[in-house]
Amino acid sequence: MSRVLATYNIKGGVGKTSAAVNLSYLAARGGARTLLWDLDPQGASTYLFRIRPKVRGGGRRLVRLKTRADDLIKGTDYLGLDLLPADFSYRHMDLALDGTKRPTARLARVLKPLYRHYDYIFLDCPPSISLVSESVFEAADALLVPIIPATLSSRTFAQLEELVAGGPQVLAFFSMVEVRKSLHREVMAELRARHVTMLGAAIPAADEVERMGVDRSVVAEIAPGGRAALAYEALWWDVKRRLDLGGRR
């Protein structure tokens, strides 16, 4: 049975895909059967895993259960880690969902046959508030939310908590942190004081994270033992600890 974890933020450019790729890699490295579904039509996770962003029949057939998800899954270069690739047709995913019964439950129905095959299913989500995100909220056990420590972060976080009230756990963490900046330190202290659910681990703004797009690899291979690699390991440990307090599908 699976735990479904969605990397999500209303805003783009906050380190969501980097988190999805590195955390799914760490889950698989730890021995868990792991799948990452790249729901973003831009296909950044798919690109980083060196897989062509193409789904046979497109997103419409997939969400309408005309195509089996397990027939579309690709292996990656990492043992125990599989990928359900992105497809450019995902840009019309809202329309495809809107044409189904109970559209917000549709992604969970797509994933249900996979639960027995994987311990963790990660969803790399597009940055939006849409029917897709509502369907993600219903399918996910937890949202992994990267937050850049900037002045509007508190407002964004509050909006998200209101949006998913009564839904999945919200496990927020700081991303792209520059501790030399006093503003970053101040915002982090303020948000941790206001939101006790914030995870303790924080991902630094590090060269090895930026190099992921060049090397098409995870930070643990680009710079093993580096600041970012250690931060993602701490984050994954923190996520698992919080999940242990919840249920399993």
27-76 confidence digits (pLDDT tens): 999 999 999 999 999 999 999 999 999 998 888 999 998 999 999 999 99
100: which 2 tokens?
């189904």
Residue 84 in domain: yes
Strand partners, 248: none
- pLDDT greater than 50 at residue 247: no
Residue 248, C-beta contacts closer than 8 angstroms, at least 6 positions apart: 1, 2, 3, 141
* 246 — pLDDT class (breaks 50, 70, 90): low
Residue 217 in domain: yes
Residue recorded with tokens 């897709």: 132
Q: Percent of the chain having pLDDT more than 70? A: 98
- In the three-class reduction of DSSP (H, G, I as helix; E, B as strand; rest coil), residue 10 is classed as coil
**8 A C-beta contact, residue 120 and residue 24:** yes
What CATH number is associated with residue 143?
3.40.50.300
Candidates 80, 74, 100, 87; CA nearest to 34 is 80
Q: What is the mean pLDDT of residues 81-100?
A: 91
- In the three-class reduction of DSSP (H, G, I as helix; E, B as strand; rest coil), residue 121 is classed as strand
Residue type, 126: P
The residue range of the domain holding 35 is: 3-243
**8 A C-beta contact, residue 143 and residue 58:** no
Residue 249 in domain: no
- In the three-class reduction of DSSP (H, G, I as helix; E, B as strand; rest coil), residue 70 is classed as helix
Confidence at residue 77, expressed as pLDDT on a 0 to 100 scale: 95
161: which 2 tokens?
């908590």
Residue 248 in domain: no
Confidence at residue 248, expressed as pLDDT on a 0 to 100 scale: 46
The sign of the torsion formed by the CA atoms of 58, 62, 68, 74 equals positive
Residue 162 in domain: yes
- In the three-class reduction of DSSP (H, G, I as helix; E, B as strand; rest coil), residue 6 is classed as strand
Residue type, 190: E
What kind and span of H or E run contains 81?
strand 81-84
Residue type, 143: L
Residue 147 in domain: yes
Mean pLDDT, the chain, rounded, equals 91
Number of domains in the chain: 1
